[in-house]
Structure 1
Amino acid sequence: MGDTEALARVEDWEDRRSLGEGQLVAWARGEKGQAVQVRALRALARLQDATTLEAILAGLSASEPSVRDEAAFAAGELALSWEPLPDELKLRMTEALREAEARESEEGVRRTLFESFSKLGTAGAIQRLIERVAEGHASAGRAALALGVSGRRGASLAEVPLEPVGALLAASQPVETRHGAAYLLVYLKRPAALELLRRCLADADPDVRALCAKGFVEGGGTEDTAALARLLEDSVPRVRAEAARTLSLLAAACVAPCAPLEALGALRKSAPRVASGDSASAHALLAVAQQGLPQAGRPVLEALRRSLAEAGPPVSELAADDVAWIDCRLAAAMDRQTGALAEVLRCGNGRVAEARRLALGLRELARAQVPEGARDAVPALHHPDARVRLAALEAVGARPVPEAVEPVRALLKSEDPVVAGMAAATVGKLKVLDALPDVRALAVRVAREPDLAEPVAGALVGLEGKAAEPALRVWLDHPHANVRRVAAEALTGLTGQPVRSVRVESPPGTGRPSAAPPGATLIFRTRKGDITVALDAGQAPLTSGNLDALARQGYFRGLSFHRVVPDFVAQGGDPRGDGEGGPGYSIRCEMTRRVYQRGVIGMALSGKDTGGSQFFFTHAPQPHLDGRYTAFGEVTAGMEVVDALLEGDVILEVRAAP
């Protein structure tokens, strides 16, 4: 068998989540030569099967750097499994990775090992990264970034010394190094780190400035408020948005007089820009609205809304829509303060549909920090629009009221699996024991509707406790990987003992989308301009081919970007418009070596192998997404359009070429 046939066989095994009766593991150990070994290791990375650990670790000692590099990547992916590895395997991996890093001579491989340390997050992995930062190692910036990612995932960074981190912020250091140091400082969350953060607020790179602005949430003072206020005038809109978000967070903890609230008043200057057609300037206002302000910040929200109204006639219908949506976003933030729908009922100058306004307001009610329940949400449980019903379920689940029980129970019988699933999650939170028969009926539907698994599992656990164990154990060998993950996670919580599912192979001949052609591009047309994306058909043929095929079918025409988080992502491709929809099938994950830099397109997921039609563009580097969500291309033109997107912006069409 030649390499071409062997590589095709590896791809087939990967598609079917099969080990090829042990052949894939043998090839990952080098039985068929270097090219096949590298591809087999990539397949093991994507399968995330704990039984393959030793084969992966063996690759760390290979003579060829390409094999060691791929083995290091595979180890990181196994460490990042959707189902957490047992502690003994993590310790075994930590030991092997530390030994490999100590003897590694290739910087490229070492960088991959650093990334794998961050995914592993054990004490031994963190300690090795700290050592490399402290030594000022050639890849110290990469080690600092890995430490920051570990901290974001919850690892303790108490032992990280500040002095060598500060040295990595020097203007003479490469941007990548400064960015890694800034990322680490954000997640150190130490008062002693504030002086270094103050220094890097003036960095020449906008992504470094934005990162450093994020770091002042823990312990920032009056001096820092003034520095953040200056960033509200930054030339780069996403930096302004990050500063606005941090000031909003600081405002939640301050008392009168509140300097962060006073600083946010400067955002009134954004209103004329938005009205003039500068959509990206709306992101700072959006960041404040999404974060929310305490009751003392109500005058700020009112002033920002007035500034929009007084900015003069928008220069275009498009600008008018932007102004209207931001007005509703700010109105919803005001309703969140009171815990009652009021401002969203009359926001948007008549340009925002009632269903969008209601869904927005109800989601904010779910976040309200007031003692009263969400009574305003009860009538919305009967609303004809599924988006409104879902938001109402979220609100009454977060802030229960007795009168919601019966309408929520009625929604358990909804033919819409998303609504029925959310109703199940809600009755679980409300402890509506009489609803148990209907929840059990939904559990039966999981066999053919996998998306029901997560909310139904939560409901079963909430209503039955340990009595739910037999029903959940049935899911451990479900054909869908995410159903198995949900069951294992729920059973681990119920039993207090680690429970893992089994790997289930798909039968031969399982259908898959055709790979995208070499050089494939997608052009996303919007009213704000076109976004051109080069697909990575080499590393992610299945994911690229899936979006390419959907585009050629006209699937995306008229869909919207339903989620926009400034300085993070813009997400679209959901036919429902609420973040819960897809094409009616799911594709497997296809983890690539592409990192999430600014302008990368990734596949949105709700668990392992749950990709479909939802995708996202990154506004800035997002290293915590690396290796978790399939990255399958990058924006080559129109990044300014991505920066200008707001929630609700419509995709006119997506053109595929060639």
Structure 2
Amino acid sequence: MRRPILRGLSLSLLVLVSGCAHTGRGSDTAPPDPEVMSRIQDWEDLRSLGDGQLVSLATGAPDSRVRARALRALARIQDVATLDAVVAGLRHEEPRVRGEAAFAVGELALSWEPLTDAERGRLTGPLLEAEAVERDAQVHVTQLDALGRLATPDAFARLVERMQGSEVEVAGRAALSLGVAARRGGAAVVKDVPLAPALALMASDRPVAARYGGAYLVATAKRAEALPSLRRCLTDEDADLRALCAKALGDVGGPEDAVVLGALLNDAVPRVAAEAARALAKLAATCSGPCVPLEVLKTLSTRVARVAEGKETPLPVGSAPREATRARSAEGHPLLALAQQGLPDFGAPVLESLRSAIADPRLRGQASEVALADLGWLDCRLAAALDRQRGELAEVLRCGWARVSEERSLSLGLREVALSRNKAPAEFAEKYLSHSSARVRLTAMEVLAERPTPRTAAMVAELLRSEDAVVAGSAASTLGQLKDPSTLPGVRALADRVPAEPDLAAPVAGALVALEGAAAEPRMRQWLLHPHANVRRVAATALTEVTGKPVRSERVALPRDTFRPEAAPHGAGLVLRTDKGDITVRLDAEDAPLTSGNLYGLARKGYFNGITFHRVVPDFVAQGGDPRGDGEGGPGYSIRCEMTRRPYLRGVLGMALSGKDTGGSQFFFTHAPQPHLDGRYTVFGEVVSGMDTVDALLEGDVIREVTAVTLP
């Protein structure tokens, strides 16, 4: 399959970075039995082991393709009872089977209900034995990934050994695997891992994938000894590396790094500039006197002013209107990143100067309607950052020049104020609990959870009866934080809705544990038998907390009448039309038929028309597909996860989740590689054209239409 966004990458780089599924080599010539493959798909969808038949196929099917497909199903089901079957596959003579077994090990290690140390140990030994003799490059990549996901001492020791080896591509992948472990578990998990081999991998003469692997470990380890290499990395020819190292300097650098980071504010790639702005904001928070990072950030407003004066332009000569719009929108990502990160109180002048610069009539006078909407939103973003500093709503009440709705500006401002260091009672938020917008009510509760008033619990308790499950669940979560026992009857009544409304499980369980402790155990025991995997996971987590002993739920097969979308056809694609241009996506109908078919079917119904991209984090993701617009909505059902061995490279389409098997209609595009998402969120497509449009998206951009198409 042709993948334009990967054009120019070498084969070795693709093997190292992607770990794509091995097609296998063997004697199987005729197509595998379609009836058997269909049964495997059926068991996988229903989260069933088929009364032992699925395990039998994974361990004894004569056709290696059937055995590999059964192992993929076990990887997605994630049942610890299948550990031995997975281990058996690590020793198979066919690479495709060994690869799927190694992938299954990694998926079990990533289970939403964590494995015990003993279970991780049962997987580590056989995987180390298999890795020691593996000769297939793609299988080896998957094994290294799985070792990092297991994160046991022996697994780390092997990865360190490989990172120190002479095979630079293997070394780079081992470093990446260690870095992902640190990203998931915190820098402390790699505190004993030597950084010298990773620093050596960052040398300019190493392949880009090896440099990236080394830099990823260095960035997530967060140690001062890496500073010289991180500083040199800021001039790397690869944009992803420059962005990664800029991000790392925000965590371990000092004011002396402000100047070198400031040079990246003018980087030709906006996501690199966004990481530089974010890192400078982090460094500003460490200032105790004159603050060089703030002085450098002031140059952002100087640049905006020069554009307004016509002395500087980010636009290529002869740009078409949409090209110009995309270029200007992408230029806004550093401002968005800065506003999202926030500045200390003494950084207010920087935020104010940026607001003044983008409000310049000369700049607005040359802007298109789309660009004006962007500028209005950025003004509100900066205004909300100011309100976060002060701990009250003020600037967002008059931001955006009437181009941002009250609902959006209020919910934004309240959410930022909830993050304020000001913990004085927030009476001003009380009136928003009765606002007509659910989004505003939700963010008002966020503020009052952090800064309660004498009336907070009683007022929030009224929302427990809301027909809107998201609002009711948020009320329960807030009351759990407030720990007011008088609200327990209302929370218990809401708990009665959980069997029919599984999305309520997490906030209600948290509230019950906070308000009644061990008395919540009987209800949680009932939830352990619920057919929805995430309800069982929530119950197990709650029981672990209240009993002080590890509790894991039993796997429960889904009812046969559980909704399953029709699989997407071969060559299925989507075209998303926005005011900034079109985005064409090729769906992975082969490896993720359920997830691809779900979005394909929703698109054919016009479901996405008029929905926004509600979340944009520069150099990370652009997320959309929520009919509510607040990140809490979906189509009214959930689908199962379909984890694949495809990695989250730039331009990949993934399914947003709030727990195991909770996919619906929310999706995201990645701006840059995100290896910590691999194997955790379903990859089900990639951008084949329009990546410049993805780069230009800001929060609130509308999806005008999504068309289901067939791509060659």
Q: Given the two structures, how large is their TM-score scaled by the length of structure 2?
A: 0.91
1:413 is matched with which residue: 454, 459, 465? 465
| Structure 2 counterpart of 1:48 | 78
Q: Is the 8 A contact 2:106 2:146 kept in 1?
A: yes
Matched, 1:215 2:248: yes
Matched, 1:558 2:610: yes
| Structure 1 counterpart of 2:400 | 348
Instruction: Output the CA distance in 2 between the equivalents of 1:270 and 1:458.
Output: 46
| Structure 2 counterpart of 1:195 | 228
Instruction: Output the CA distance in 2 between the equivalents of 1:352 and 1:67.
Output: 54
Per the TM alignment, residue 2 of structure 1 is displaced from its structure 2 partner at its CA by 6.4
Matched, 1:163 2:215: no
| Structure 2 counterpart of 1:175 | 208
Change (3 A) 1:342 1:314: farther
Per the TM alignment, residue 170 of structure 1 is displaced from its structure 2 partner at its CA by 2.1
1:398 is matched with which residue: 430, 447, 450? 450
Per the TM alignment, residue 105 of structure 1 is displaced from its structure 2 partner at its CA by 1.6
Give the match's secondary structure for 2:90: helix
Per the TM alignment, residue 510 of structure 1 is displaced from its structure 2 partner at its CA by 3.7
| Structure 1 counterpart of 2:388 | 336
Q: Is the 8 A contact 1:42 1:74 kept in 2?
A: yes
Per the TM alignment, residue 131 of structure 1 is displaced from its structure 2 partner at its CA by 1.1
Q: Is the 8 A contact 1:119 1:150 kept in 2?
A: yes
Deviations 1:163-210 (A, max 9, x none): 322221122222111111111110111110111111111100000000
Q: Is the 8 A contact 1:238 1:566 kept in 2?
A: yes
Q: Is the 8 A contact 2:329 2:697 kept in 1?
A: yes
| Structure 2 counterpart of 1:308 | 358
**1:134-149 equivalence runs, <5 A:** 134-138=164-168, 139-149=170-180
Deviations 1:588-609 (A, max 9, x none): 0010111000000000000000
Give the match's secondary structure for 1:304: helix
Give the match's secondary structure for 2:557: coil
Q: Is the 8 A contact 1:274 1:322 kept in 2?
A: no
Matched, 1:267 2:300: yes
| Structure 2 counterpart of 1:377 | 429
Instruction: Output the CA distance in 1 between the equivalents of 2:612 and 2:350.
Output: 30
Instruction: Kindly provide the amino acid, as one letter, of the partner of residue 23 in structure 1.
Output: Q
Instruction: Output the CA distance in 2 between the equivalents of 1:87 and 1:513.
Output: 37
Instruction: Kindly provide the amino acid, as one letter, of the partner of residue 81 in structure 1.
Output: S
Instruction: Output the CA distance in 1 between the equivalents of 2:251 and 2:677.
Output: 23
| Structure 1: gaps of 5 or more residues | none
Instruction: Output the CA distance in 1 between the equivalents of 2:204 and 2:252.
Output: 25
Q: Is the 8 A contact 1:191 1:218 kept in 2?
A: no
Deviations 1:136-179 (A, max 9, x none): 43411111111110111125212332332222112222211111
Instruction: Kindly provide the amino acid, as one letter, of the partner of residue 439 in structure 1.
Output: V
Instruction: Output the CA distance in 1 between the equivalents of 2:147 and 2:451.
Output: 40
Deviations 1:488-544 (A, max 9, x none): 011111111110011111233544111101001100000000000000000000000
Instruction: Output the CA distance in 2 between the equivalents of 1:625 and 1:522.
Output: 23
Instruction: Output the CA distance in 2 between the equivalents of 1:210 and 1:146.
Output: 19
Q: Is the 8 A contact 1:30 1:36 kept in 2?
A: no
Matched, 1:77 2:107: yes
Change (3 A) 1:100 1:386: same
Per the TM alignment, residue 87 of structure 1 is displaced from its structure 2 partner at its CA by 1.5
2:135 is matched with which residue: 102, 105, 126? 105
Matched, 1:28 2:55: no
| Structure 2 counterpart of 1:13 | 43
Give the match's secondary structure for 1:402: coil
Q: Is the 8 A contact 1:479 1:504 kept in 2?
A: yes
Q: Which moved more, 1:102-111 or 1:532-541?
A: 102-111
Deviations 1:611-651 (A, max 9, x none): 00000000000000000000000000000000000000000
Change (3 A) 1:482 1:251: same
**Bigger RCO of structures 1 and 2 (CA < 8 A, at least 6 apart):** 2
Q: Is the 8 A contact 2:463 2:471 kept in 1?
A: yes
Instruction: Kindly provide the amino acid, as one letter, of the partner of residue 358 in structure 2.
Output: L
| Structure 1 counterpart of 2:344 | 294
Instruction: Output the CA distance in 2 between the equivalents of 1:312 and 1:274.
Output: 15
Give the match's secondary structure for 1:477: coil
Change (3 A) 1:315 1:462: same
Q: Is the 8 A contact 1:374 1:399 kept in 2?
A: yes
Give the match's secondary structure for 1:633: strand
| Structure 1 counterpart of 2:146 | 116
Instruction: Kindly provide the amino acid, as one letter, of the partner of residue 41 in structure 2.
Output: E
| Structure 1 counterpart of 2:285 | 252
Deviations 1:245-269 (A, max 9, x none): 0111111111220111111111112
| Structure 2: gaps of 5 or more residues | 1-30, 308-312, 316-323
Deviations 1:83-118 (A, max 9, x none): 001211011111121111112122211110111112
Q: Is the 8 A contact 1:274 1:282 kept in 2?
A: no
Q: Is the 8 A contact 2:233 2:245 kept in 1?
A: yes
Instruction: Kindly provide the amino acid, as one letter, of the partner of residue 441 in structure 1.
Output: A
Give the match's secondary structure for 1:523: strand
Matched, 1:434 2:486: yes
Deviations 1:406-462 (A, max 9, x none): 220111110100000000011111112111111011111001000000000011011
RMSD: 1.4
Instruction: Output the CA distance in 1 between the equivalents of 2:336 and 2:456.
Output: 31
**1:253-652 equivalence runs, <5 A:** 253-268=286-301, 269-270=303-304, 272=307, 277=325, 278-310=328-360, 311-652=363-704
Q: Is the 8 A contact 2:414 2:447 kept in 1?
A: yes
Per the TM alignment, residue 270 of structure 1 is displaced from its structure 2 partner at its CA by 4.2
Instruction: Output the CA distance in 2 between the equivalents of 1:67 and 1:219.
Output: 42
2:162 is matched with which residue: 132, 151, 159? 132
Instruction: Output the CA distance in 2 between the equivalents of 1:48 and 1:136.
Output: 35
Deviations 1:223-263 (A, max 9, x none): 31111011111110000000100111111111220111111
Instruction: Kindly provide the amino acid, as one letter, of the partner of residue 292 in structure 1.
Output: G
Instruction: Kindly provide the amino acid, as one letter, of the partner of residue 130 in structure 1.
Output: V
Instruction: Kindly provide the amino acid, as one letter, of the partner of residue 615 in structure 2.
Output: R
Q: Is the 8 A contact 1:365 1:374 kept in 2?
A: no
Q: Is the 8 A contact 1:428 1:463 kept in 2?
A: yes
Q: Which moved more, 1:504-513 or 1:409-418?
A: 504-513
Matched, 1:236 2:269: yes
| Structure 2 counterpart of 1:151 | 182
Instruction: Kindly provide the amino acid, as one letter, of the partner of residue 647 in structure 2.
Output: V
1:90 is matched with which residue: 120, 123, 134? 120
Instruction: Output the CA distance in 2 between the equivalents of 1:371 and 1:62.
Output: 59
Q: Given the two structures, how large is their TM-score scaled by the length of structure 1?
A: 0.98
Q: Is the 8 A contact 2:199 2:215 kept in 1?
A: no
Instruction: Kindly provide the amino acid, as one letter, of the partner of residue 294 in structure 1.
Output: P
Instruction: Kindly provide the amino acid, as one letter, of the partner of residue 180 in structure 1.
Output: G
Q: Is the 8 A contact 1:3 1:35 kept in 2?
A: no
Instruction: Output the CA distance in 2 between the equivalents of 1:493 and 1:503.
Output: 20
Instruction: Output the CA distance in 1 between the equivalents of 2:594 and 2:227.
Output: 45
